[in-house]
Structure 1
Amino acid sequence: MKYRVRHLTEYKYGSAVTLCYNMAHLLPRDTLNQICVNRRLHVTPTPIYQTESEDYFGNPTYYFSIQEPHKKLIIDMECVYDITPLERSQQLFLGSVTCGELRQLLAAAETPELRMTKEYLMDSPLIHRSSDLADYAAQTFDDTVPVLQAALDFTQKIFNEFTFDPTATSVSTPVEQVLLEKRGVCQDFAHLAIACIRSVGLPARYVSGYLETLPPPGQEKLVGADASHAWFAIYIPDMGWVEFDPTNNLMPSDQHIVTAWGRDYSDVTPLQGVIFDGGESQTIKVSVDVQRC
């Protein structure tokens, strides 16, 4: 399956920005079942300096600086992806390592892979472990339950018990508040799952990207109606990092497009940087289109 993704971001400032430095997590990342076959990224005004690199987690990054006064900044990214559906053996579902066995493996950490995985057991800027979070997940991730089955059950638990509400939270809403109010968006549900899983001593990471959405039957798809999406992955020996989408109660396959992964949203923010001047107010408009091609 091939997808064309266009992510258009537009900032408007109350007064002219005289200088800005930015880092973007917008460029495509290749994965086991996803390859970028074509891409373009255009910034207006034209940057005086720009370069591509990789961050600590191996995500492609794009750095740029603009040194001319501007009241509008536009970042226009378009990529074409070739995605192959993931094949999952029923034997893996039935015979995966249990939560207790994984905790023991992590405690010993006898391989470089396990030692690196332990990084995703710890707190991160937007995710902090707690006893309340551990209590919410403890029964699901009991020592005797296979990790894969537990992750599937917990994905369904969040889907069933939480309400999707884009007005309930912001980027800075604490996970404990999401747990209490049981409302939020995909980022909140991903953060909640990760926080709970880490609180019971298992490794989980944040995944950002896009999700193909389809219009109601008989209606045309609106331009710009798609959005960035977020989900989580849990580490399972012999399977690697396995992804789960609690917002939609499924395991991502060929309709989820990965941009980046890290400890939480703060590691993979689409655009972050520093501006000089610009006034006291600014607005941002984001338009995302995901189309089959």
Structure 2
Amino acid sequence: MLLHVLHETAYDYAPVVRTAQHMTHLKPLRTPRQQVLAHALRISPEPAQQGEALDVFGNTRSFFSLQHAHEGLRVVADSLVSTSAAGDPGGSLPWQEVAERMRYHRDARYDAAAAFVFASPYVPRDGAFARYAQPSFAEGRPLLEAARELMHRVHADFEYEPAATDVNTPALEALALRRGVCQDLAHVMLGGLRSLGLPARYVSGYLLTEPPPGQPRLVGSDASHAWVSVYLPGEEGRGRWIDLDPTNDRTPGEDYVTLAIGRDYSDVSPMRGVIHGGAHHTLKVAVTVSPAEPMTNDG
């Protein structure tokens, strides 16, 4: 599927901002199922400096600075992305065997996915998460089967309510509230998996704004979205990551665009910065993901 993503961020400041430094995660990630065909980041007013680099997770981070007074800031990320559906993930090892593999053992083979077992700023490892997740993880149950049931339960148990939380709400608080937005549901599911010793990562991205005819409109359209990726080790060699979306209770397909991956929201927030001045501000964010016309070669 060929998708056009337009992500617009607009700030209005009062009083003016004198100088500012910003960092964004707004360039979609290149993956085996996703190719970035074009990307542009348009910033107004024009930044004094601008650049980009890869972070430790392989995401593209863009940096820019504004060295003169400004009353507002507008950032538009314009991307053209080709996506494909996920293949059949096949079977998976029993979850307890996976958890045991991720534990440190002397002379054990290193698996980079083990880094996603540990606590992160928004998602501590806590007994409350383990108690919530445990009913889905019977002894000997295949990991993927158990993780899918946990996804179903989070979807059923939590009410999608934007006013209940904000971007700084801890995952334990969202667990107690049983409500929140996609970020909160992803954090809760991450907490459950990691508290059982299972690697899981946070995925930020987008959904197709208008679904195909006959398909339901998904929660999270017209905004940034978030879901979970769980690691399935192979019998031998490298394992694979499988995406699961507790907000919409489904496996992400070609109508999803992956923006960035990390331990939790703190690693991949779309935009953050430090400003001097601008004691008060208003923020508007608009996201549109639409089917694009196939590119042609007229030459």
TM-score, normalization by structure 2? 0.90
CA distance in 1, matches of 2:211, 2:33: 26
Q: Aligned to 1:139, what secondary structure does the other structure show?
A: helix
Residue of structure 2 in register with 1:141 after alignment: 137
Relative distance call for 1:229 and 1:275 in structure 2 (3 A) is: same
Note closer, same or farther for the CA distance 1:102–1:216 as it changes in structure 2 (3 Å cut): closer
CA displacement at 1:254 relative to structure 2: 0.5
SS at match of 2:162: coil
Distance 2:95 2:71 in 1: 53
Q: Deviations over 1:161-193 (max 9, x none)?
A: 111111111112122222222111100000000
Find the aligned partners of 2:154 and 2:64 in 1 and give their Cα distance. Answer: 39
Give the 3-state SS of the residue equivalent to 1:266 in structure 2.
Answer: helix
What letter is aligned with 2:78?
E
* Alignment counterpart, residue 222 of structure 2, candidates 216, 223, 226: 226
**Which residue pairs with 1:82 in the alignment?**
82
Matched residue, 2:295: none
Q: Give the whole-Å Cα distance in 2 for the aligned partners of 1:273 and 1:214.
A: 32
* Cα contact 1:211–1:257 (8 A) shared by 2: yes
Cα contact 1:101–1:143 (8 A) shared by 2: no
Letter in 2 for 1:13: Y
One-letter code of the match for 1:64?
A: F
1:12 matched residue in structure 2? 12
Matching of residue 285 in structure 1 with residue 281 in structure 2: no
* Partner of residue 157 from structure 1, selected from 135, 153, 156: 153
Question: Residue 109 of structure 2 corresponds to which residue in structure 1?
Answer: 111
Is 1:26–2:22 an aligned residue pair? no
1:197-227 C-alpha deviation (Å, 9 max, x unpaired): 1111111110000011337989xx9xxx711
Q: Shift in Å at residue 143 of structure 1?
A: 3.4
Identity %: 38
Contact 1:100-1:142 within 8 A present in 2 as well: no
Aligned 1:53-132 pairs, distance under 5 A = 53-88=53-88, 92=90, 95-108=91-104, 110-112=108-110, 114=111, 116-132=112-128
Amino acid at match of 1:12: D
Unaligned runs of 5+ in 1: none
Residues 3 and 80, structure 1, Cα contact 8 Å, conserved in 2: yes
CA distance in 2, matches of 1:33, 1:217: 23
Distance in 1 (alpha carbons) for counterparts of 2:123 and 2:104: 25
Change (3 A) 1:215 1:233: closer
TM, length-normalised to structure 1: 0.92
- Tell me how far apart the structure 2 counterparts of residues 31 and 129 of structure 1 sit (CA, whole Å): 29
Closer, same or farther: CA 215–96 of 1 in aligned 2, 3 Å: closer
Query: Is the contact made by 2:209 and 2:288 (CA closer than 8 Å) also made in structure 1?
Result: no
2:204 corresponds to 1:208: yes
Q: Report the Cα distance in structure 2 between the residues aligned to 1:232 and 1:271, rounded to whole angstroms.
A: 20
Match of 1:181 in 2: 177
CA contact (8 A) 2:210 2:290 kept: no
Gapped regions of structure 2 (runs ≥ 5): 293-299
Aligned residue number for residue 246 of structure 1 = 246
**Against the structure 1 CA distance between its residues 43 and 118, is the aligned structure 2 distance closer, same or farther, given a 3 Å change threshold?**
same
The amino acid that maps onto 1:61 is: R
Aligned twin of 2:297 = none
Letter paired with 2:81: Y
- The aligned residue for residue 2 of structure 2 is 2
Q: CA RMSD in A?
A: 1.8
Say how many residue pairs are matched. Answer: 281
The 1:119/1:36 distance shift into structure 2, 3 A limit, reads: same
Alpha-carbon distance in structure 1 between the residues aligned to 2:44 and 2:104: 51
Would the aligned equivalents of 1:10 and 1:286 in 2 still touch at CA under 8 Å? yes
Aligned to 1:153, what secondary structure does the other structure show?
helix
Between the aligned partners of 1:181 and 1:66, the Cα distance in structure 2 is: 40
Distance in structure 1 (CA, Å) of the matches to 2:162 and 2:96 = 36
